[in-house]
């Protein structure tokens, strides 16, 4: 009830209370939360013009600082999914370029949903044209739905260009609020267009995908004629420029996928089955990167760079966590068997006392500088019984030049980061060996009850 922003509650809440389907206390709870937030925002502190949010002028909406922020957000969010034989970045000396696809010339697709009119708008086509004067464009499809394609025309310009960039994917006609997709494939005949162009081009092509959700592009992942794949989401008004900058190497891609990209087969799983954990008896693969056991097109957190980065744990403030016990009372033992403690029984003090710091060293082993996100995961030494495969603890970005080293520090809260929900939905802390994982490096941490 707290988050409904439509008219449903306005129409039906009173009736639900009168029919005893909803206790009035739940309405009171929701109103308490809503008004508490409004109070924290200062919305009842007198004249709204005198509050911290009361003097935001219209000229601040399109201020240079905010436009720079929009461009930086687009740069950081673009994910490099494939870069076979280091096709990208393309050389700035490229003599000719073919840009093909229905999303290449659409400023509206860039902003997606829940967006006002952009201050400025540069389409991917316009941005690419700023790098290569001899750029030829063809939409390839009539629309993103791609029910009609012009393969011959697209193939013809692809054959004559030194490099080809295909800008495909989805838009609001395919996915938006109140419009769910029924499959994970590219719409219509997009795949046919992509493979035809790739087969005819002089060199492997670059495939750019605009979409809010995952797309099963397994065909492109394994096709050597599709040399690179970039996913940009709906990157906003700066998205066109950010894409061109990354394609031609003015910026190093540093985005990571915010969700797992499932294969088309995953659509067989009923949307009404909301179990997180897999079930081998019913051939249910589970949901989210924490539990899913099926095939993946690309996994959560995946993302390539023009540089190669290496990680190493540099320090940890404590490796043994004693819950409700003094460390002097314990001797070395085997942790193959697993007991547990309810998090609710530990209390805030014990949870706070067992927080610890861990340092991660990062090195840019490549030549190109860039902003690089570092993801810290946790997993248990003992698997099965509904335990997560891994779970994200946190992430931080570090800016490193080629060959440069850096170090970042994470705070780990065991009661949150190393706990799990048992079969009753109760959060518990399992004793025994746990691992912190970053890249290929792992650090053991032992919980002693």
Give how many domains the chain has, as a whole number. Answer: 3
- Give the Cβ contact number of residue 28 at 10 Å: 10
Q: What is the pLDDT of residues 203-233, one digit of tens each?
A: 999 999 999 999 999 999 999 999 999 999 9
List the CATH number of the domain containing 324: 2.60.40.10
Whether 303 is covered by a domain: the verdict is: no
Distances from the Cα of 98 to the Cα of 138, 154, 231, 247, 352, angstroms: 8, 9, 19, 13, 58
Is the same domain home to 38 and 81? Answer: no
Whether 172 is covered by a domain: the verdict is: yes
CB neighbour list of residue 133: distance below 8 Å, 6 or more residues apart: none
Per-residue pLDDT at 335: 42
pLDDT of the chain along its 449 residues, tens only? 577 778 888 899 999 999 999 999 999 999 999 999 988 888 888 888 888 778 888 888 899 999 999 999 999 999 999 999 999 999 999 999 999 999 999 999 999 988 888 999 899 999 999 999 999 999 999 999 999 999 999 999 999 999 999 999 999 999 998 899 999 999 999 999 999 999 999 999 999 999 999 999 999 999 999 999 999 999 999 999 999 999 999 999 999 999 999 999 999 999 899 999 999 899 999 999 999 999 999 999 999 999 999 999 999 998 999 886 544 433 344 444 458 899 999 989 999 999 999 999 999 999 999 999 999 999 998 887 788 999 999 999 999 999 999 999 999 999 999 999 988 889 999 999 999 999 999 999 999 98
d(CA 115, CA 124): 18
> Which residues face 295 on adjacent strands?
none
Whether 79 is covered by a domain: the verdict is: yes
Whether 290 is covered by a domain: the verdict is: no
Kindly state the helix (H) or strand (E) to which residue 309 belongs, with its residue range.
Answer: strand 309-316
Is the same domain home to 167 and 22? Answer: no
How far out from the chain centre does Cα 393 lie?
A: 15
Choose the final residue of a domain: 203, 238, 268: 268
Is the same domain home to 190 and 245? Answer: yes
Q: Which domain does 189 fall in, by range?
A: 64-268
Is the same domain home to 149 and 258? Answer: yes
Is the same domain home to 46 and 71? Answer: no
Is the same domain home to 238 and 329? Answer: no
Is the same domain home to 381 and 238? Answer: no
What are 159's two structure tokens?
Answer: 């054959």
Per-residue pLDDT at 331: 38
Is the same domain home to 125 and 240? Answer: yes
Per-residue pLDDT at 383: 82
Whether 231 is covered by a domain: the verdict is: yes
d(CA 222, CA 198): 13
Is the same domain home to 256 and 343? Answer: no
Per-residue pLDDT at 328: 40
Per-residue pLDDT at 329: 38
Whether 239 is covered by a domain: the verdict is: yes
Per-residue pLDDT at 283: 92
Q: Whose CA is closest to 217, among 204, 235, 205, 229? A: 229
Choose the final residue of a domain: 249, 268, 287: 268
List the CATH number of the domain containing 145: 3.40.50.1700
Per-residue pLDDT at 384: 79
Is the same domain home to 238 and 371? Answer: no
Whether 237 is covered by a domain: the verdict is: yes
Whether 280 is covered by a domain: the verdict is: no
Is the same domain home to 45 and 77? Answer: no
Is the same domain home to 227 and 180? Answer: yes
């Amino acid at each position: 009830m707290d988050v409904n922003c439509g008219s449903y509650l306005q129409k039906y809440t009173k009736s639900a209370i009168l029919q005893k389907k909803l206790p009035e206390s739940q309405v009171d709870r929701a109103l308490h939360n809503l008004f508490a937030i409004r109070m924290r925002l200062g919305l009842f502190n007198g004249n709204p013009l005198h509050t911290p949010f009361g003097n935001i002028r219209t000229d601040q909406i399109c201020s240079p600082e905010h436009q720079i922020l929009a461009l930086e957000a687009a740069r950081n969010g673009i994910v490099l999914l494939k870069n076979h034989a280091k096709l990208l970045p393309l050389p700035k000396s490229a003599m000719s370029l073919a840009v093909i696809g229905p999303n290449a010339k659409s400023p509206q697709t860039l902003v997606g949903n829940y967006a006002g009119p952009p201050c400025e708008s540069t389409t991917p086509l316009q941005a690419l044209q700023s790098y290569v004067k001899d750029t030829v464009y063809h939409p390839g499809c009539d629309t993103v739905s791609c029910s009609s394609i012009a393969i011959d025309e697209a193939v013809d310009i692809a054959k004559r260009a030194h490099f080809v960039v295909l800008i495909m994917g989805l838009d609001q006609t395919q996915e938006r609020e109140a419009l769910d997709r029924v499959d994970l494939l590219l719409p219509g005949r997009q795949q046919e267009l992509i493979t035809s162009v790739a087969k005819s081009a002089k060199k492997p092509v670059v495939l750019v995908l605009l979409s809010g959700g995952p797309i099963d592009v397994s065909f492109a992942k394994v096709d050597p004629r599709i040399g690179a794949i970039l996913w940009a989401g709906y990157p906003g008004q700066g998205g066109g420029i950010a894409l061109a900058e990354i394609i031609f190497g003015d910026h190093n891609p540093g985005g990571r996928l915010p969700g797992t990209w499932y294969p088309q087969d995953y659509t067989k799983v009923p949307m009404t089955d909301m179990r997180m954990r897999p079930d081998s008896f019913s051939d249910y693969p589970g949901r989210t990167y924490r539990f899913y056991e099926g095939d993946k097109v690309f996994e959560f957190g995946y993302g390539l760079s023009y540089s190669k980065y290496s990680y190493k744990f540099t320090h940890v403030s404590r490796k043994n966590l004693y819950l409700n016990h003094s460390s002097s009372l314990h001797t070395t033992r085997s942790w193959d068997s697993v007991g547990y403690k309810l998090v609710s029984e530990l209390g805030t003090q014990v949870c706070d006392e067992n927080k610890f710091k861990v340092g991660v060293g990062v090195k840019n082993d490549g030549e190109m500088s860039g902003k690089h996100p570092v993801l810290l995961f946790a997993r248990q030494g003992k698997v099965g019984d509904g335990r997560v495969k891994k779970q994200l603890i946190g992430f931080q970005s570090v800016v490193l030049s080629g060959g440069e080293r850096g170090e970042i520090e994470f705070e780990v809260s065991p009661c949150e980061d190393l706990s799990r929900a048992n079969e009753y939905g109760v959060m518990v802390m399992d004793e025994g060996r746990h691992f912190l994982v970053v890249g290929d490096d792992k650090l053991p941490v032992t919980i002693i009850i």
